Amino acid sequence: MAQRRERIDRGIKVRSDDVFALTSWREMAYLAAPRVFPVLALFILVLVASVYWERVLVTTCMFALLAMSWDILASAGMVSLGQSLFFGIGAYIAGTLNYYLGISPWLTIPIATIGGGLVSTLVLLPVLRLRGIYFAMVTMILPLMIERIVEATKIFGGTEGISGIKTLGSVHIEFVVAAVVVWTALFGFRRMMSTDYGLLLKGINDNDRAVMSAGMNIYYYKAQALFMASSVGAFAGAFMTHAYQFVGMPVFALDYSIIPIASVAVGGAGTLAGPMLGSFILVPLSELLRGLGGLRVVIYAVILVVCTVGLPEGVFHYLSRKYNQFERWVKVER
Amino acid sequence: MLQGTLIYGFINSVILMLVALGFSVTFGISGVANFAYGALYVMAGYLTWLGLHSLGLPFWLAAPGAVAITAGVAAMIYWFILLRVRGLVVSEVIATFGVGLAILELFRYLGFIGFEYTLPPLIDASVMIGDTYVDAQRLCIVGAGIVLAAFLWFFTHYTKTGLAFRGIAQDERTSLTLGINADKVAAWSVAFGAGYAALAALVILPLGTIAVNEGYNVLVNALAVCIVGGLGSTVGIIVASFLIGFAQILTATYLETSWMMIVSLVAILAILVIKPSGLFGHQKQLEERI
Res B128 pLDDT > 60: yes
Q: Do A308 and B273 touch (CB under 8 A)?
A: no
Interchain contact B220–A (C-beta under 8 A): yes
* Alpha carbons A220 and B67: distance in angstroms, whole number: 49
**Of A280-294, B172-186, B203-217, B264-278, where does the model show the most confidence?**
B172-186
* Alpha carbons B264 and B245: distance in angstroms, whole number: 9
* Alpha carbons A63 and A68: distance in angstroms, whole number: 8
Q: What is the per-residue pLDDT across B9-28, written as a single tens digit (0 to 9) for each? A: 888 888 888 888 888 888 87
Residues of A whose CB is below 8 A from B220: 141, 144
* Tens-digit pLDDT string for chain A (334 aa): 788 888 888 888 887 777 665 678 888 888 888 889 988 998 888 888 888 888 899 999 999 999 999 999 999 988 888 889 999 999 999 888 888 888 888 888 899 999 999 999 998 888 888 877 778 878 888 888 888 888 777 777 777 777 777 777 788 888 889 999 999 999 999 999 999 999 999 999 888 889 999 998 999 999 999 999 999 999 999 998 888 887 877 778 777 888 888 888 888 888 899 999 999 988 888 888 877 777 877 888 888 888 888 877 788 888 888 888 888 899 888 7
Res B288 pLDDT > 80: no
DSSP three-state, residue A313: coil
Cβ atoms within 10 Å of A170's Cβ, excluding its own: 11
* Alpha carbons B69 and B204: distance in angstroms, whole number: 19
Residues linked to residue B7 through DSSP beta bridges, in sequence order: none
Which range is least confidently modeled, A210-214, A271-275, B190-194, B278-282?
A: B278-282
CA end-to-end span of chain A: 7
Res B281 pLDDT > 60: yes
Whole-angstrom CA distances from B115 to B50, B56, B111, B119, B275 are 15, 19, 12, 11, 41
Interchain contact B147–A (C-beta under 8 A): no
pTM of this structure = 0.82
> Smallest CA–CA separation between A3 and chain B, in Å?
25
Query: At a CB cut-off of 8 Å and minimum separation 6, what does B98 contact?
Result: A301, A302, A304, A305, A308
Query: At a CB cut-off of 8 Å and minimum separation 6, what does B44 contact?
Result: B66, B67, B70, B197, B198, B201, B202
Across the interface, which of A79, A127, A152 has its CB nearest the CB of B258?
A152
φ, ψ (nearest 5 deg) of residue A331: -80, 140
Q: What is the per-residue pLDDT across A184-235, written as a single tens digit (0 to 9) for each? A: 999 999 999 999 999 999 999 888 889 999 998 999 999 999 999 999 999 9
Percent helix / strand / coil, chain A, rounded to 5: 75, 5, 15
Residues of A whose CB is below 8 A from B105: 294-295, 297-298, 301
> Smallest CA–CA separation between A94 and chain B, in Å?
25
> Smallest CA–CA separation between A54 and chain B, in Å?
29
Q: Do A309 and B84 touch (CB under 8 A)?
A: yes
Q: What is the per-residue pLDDT across B130-149, written as a single tens digit (0 to 9) for each? A: 666 677 778 788 888 888 88
Residues linked to residue A330 through DSSP beta bridges, in sequence order: A4
Res B286 pLDDT > 60: no
- For a pLDDT cut of 90, what percent of chain A falls above it? 29
| Farthest CA pair distance, chain A | 76
Question: Chain A residues within 8 A (CB-CB) of chain B?
Answer: 79, 81, 126-127, 129-134, 136-138, 141-142, 144-145, 148-149, 151-152, 208-209, 212, 218, 254, 258, 261, 265, 293-295, 297-298, 300-302, 304-305, 308-309, 312
φ, ψ (nearest 5 deg) of residue A303: -55, -45
Q: Do A293 and B288 touch (CB under 8 A)?
A: no
Q: Do B91 and A308 touch (CB under 8 A)?
A: yes
Res B211 pLDDT > 60: yes
Q: Do A130 and B288 touch (CB under 8 A)?
A: yes
CA nearest B197: which of B81, B68, B96?
A: B68
Residues B288, B289, B290, CA angle at the centre, nearest 5°? 145
Query: At a CB cut-off of 8 Å and minimum separation 6, what does A146 contact?
Result: A85, A88, A252
